[in-house]
Amino acid sequence: MNNNDKPVAFRLRLGLKRFTENSFRAAIWGDASRMSYEEVALALVWAMVVGYWILNQVIGCALLWILFSYPGAPLSGTLWDALFLSTSAFHNAGLTTLAHIPVEAAPVLLVLMYLIIAGNTWFPIFLRIVATLVLRSTKDPVRAHALRLLLHDPRHCYTSLPMTSY
């Protein structure tokens, strides 16, 4: 078995220099026609995971800060409290800077519930949904083929993406 028959993550670990910073940019934003489908899929997985991680935490922090700071809110907190609580919920750490969260603060609990579910619990399911949405919205045939490869055989590039049939 030569190196080209092995999964792309294994080939990258061997130190093959094909997957450089420029080819990574090309896989996401530029012309990916000169790259293998595995390399494009790996770059797209990286972009989807990092985007998912940042977007969920920023939205969660913003929602919590809004819920903490509107007049008459049953729970008061600072931007630091919102950031700490959203990050803790997203990573299922269970930590808080607040003494208690009353039942009247149901919107805060709903945001925390979403962050807990979106963080680690249903992350593979949400990532598969994101990959399907990106596949439906892309017009580039190389990226579309790479995403179909990723959705059909996800363990080839990323172990946290669930398979549809076993």
The identity of residue 105, as a single letter, is: A
C-alpha 90 chain-centroid distance = 11
Whether 124 shows a pLDDT value over 90: the answer reads: no
Eight-class DSSP state of 21: H
Q: CA separation (Å) from 157 to 17, 29, 32, 129, 130? A: 18, 19, 17, 17, 16
Domain regions of the chain by residue span: 3-45+124-156, 51-121
Whether pLDDT at 142 is above 60: yes
Burial class of 27 by CB neighbour count within 10 A (0 to 12, 13 to 18, 19+) = buried
Q: What percent of the chain is predicted at pLDDT more than 90?
A: 15
Q: Is the separation of the CB atoms in 95 and 36 below 8 Å? A: no
Q: Quote the CA–CA distance of 97 and 36 in Å, as a whole number.
A: 47
pLDDT score, position 45: 85
**In sequence order, which ranges of the chain are alpha helices (DSSP H)?**
8-13, 21-28, 37-69, 79-90, 106-116, 123-137, 141-152
> What is the structure's pLDDT at 33?
66
What would the mean pLDDT of 38-63 be, rounded to a whole number? 88
Mean residue pLDDT of the chain comes to: 77
Strongest mean pLDDT among 3-7, 21-25, 26-30, 41-45: 41-45
